[in-house]
A = this chain, B = another copy of it.
């Protein structure tokens, strides 16, 4: 029976073998959105089944209407540990599918030939599609378990692992699969490795996820496109109507003017705000890389609040009239826009949609009609309480590994799996990840730092150890 330090040492000593296994996993082009890669997705799932069974898991491939799920269990201890405590049972989730690699011509190295490159800063990185999202991240967990099992470390944690092959396709089979397997998958807490660190040296746990609801608006004026000479002035122009309505949606201070929009938005706890302020993230640091320098949200909130704890109303697309080369003097019949609202706190997606639609209708002039097309997809915001016992245990373990407290971050985007675990399985999710802002997930030249991979494995060893020996219930 090894000590924790011995396990960590073995992680360091066997890193090359871990990297080699990672490379073999990255070579499988498991692109879920393209039917041409269907067999490769199955190969990736089988790779996980084989890997986990070799480690002593009971791993199986489960068919779905789309790509298969992989489910694996490892019962190290039957419900109580040596001192009679309840042994926690965790559910770990990751996804083996990857984004399409296109545009291929922008890759410096082939996307499915993983390549290790030492950068000008001396840091080594693995370049491949999926290196970070999510093959590299999920393997940090499996390699941590491998090290603990190989060292015969006493694992006072029971584990169920769920790997999905459709995350990059919108997870169409997930909710039904969870619902059909509640008893098998519902345990004490879910762990997900698909998020980032605060920066290269500072770990993070993501505790706030904004929700989202979409809408599409189509305004119709004249029944046909009109000549702007013959009709211009007398005929209502739906682009004018649309721009007027959307232009009125924010006031000069960035506040959203839809009635009831802020219902359910809670003030940020003072200590959370204080901890975010202490991060001293400069506007330049966050926005400079994309050519900006001024936070554009509500002026009375800090930049981090604007992206982590405040809701938004963004137009993601707008279209109307003639948009080709040159000019065409048309008054179009229709103009349309796609919007998304990022939600926080207790904001109700349906009420936000209703409020937006009422806002539009109240401003619709004579002769215009409006149509709304919602895809029905909506997710409320999610928060993991900072008092959650598993969160506190994971935070302590990360501090042991990195020498500083993890940042309890928000995430401006949505991670639907977290809502599904909450709603279908009744579990909270602890989001611990080791990605960096420059990993280029979903873009050409995706990479994952070797340091992220290495420290990630070490971190999971510490977290699993801490969960198994925690006083928390």
Q: Which residue of B lies closest to A326 (CB)?
A: B375
- Asked, given contacts A228-B340, A247-B244, A413-B229, whether A237 binds B314 with beta carbons under 8 Å apart, the answer is yes
Most buried by B among A229, A236, A298: A229
Partner of A340, one of B226, B323, B327, B413: B327
A230 within 8 A of B: yes
**Chain A 327-359: CB-based contact to B (< 8 A → 1; otherwise 0):** 111111001111010100000000000000000
A233 within 8 A of B: yes
A329 touching B212, Cβ below 8 Å = yes
B329 touching A340, Cβ below 8 Å = yes
A307 touching B237, Cβ below 8 Å = no
Which residues of the other chain, B, contact A294 by a CB distance below 8 angstroms?
236, 365-367
**Chain A contact residue count (CB 8 A cutoff):** 80
The smallest beta-carbon distance between A253 and chain B, in angstroms, is: 12
B240 touching A212, Cβ below 8 Å = no
A165 within 8 A of B: no
The number of times this chain is found in the oligomer is 2
For the complex, give the distance between the alpha carbons of A307 and B232 in Å: 6
The smallest beta-carbon distance between A285 and chain B, in angstroms, is: 12
A212 touching B229, Cβ below 8 Å = yes
Which residues of the other chain, B, contact A229 by a CB distance below 8 angstroms?
210, 212, 342, 411-414
Partner of A315, one of B222, B226, B237, B340: B237
Contact sample, A vs B, 15 pairs, CB 8 Å cutoff: A212-B229, A221-B292, A222-B292, A224-B290, A228-B316, A228-B340, A233-B306, A234-B286, A239-B316, A247-B247, A293-B366, A294-B366, A318-B335, A321-B338, A327-B377
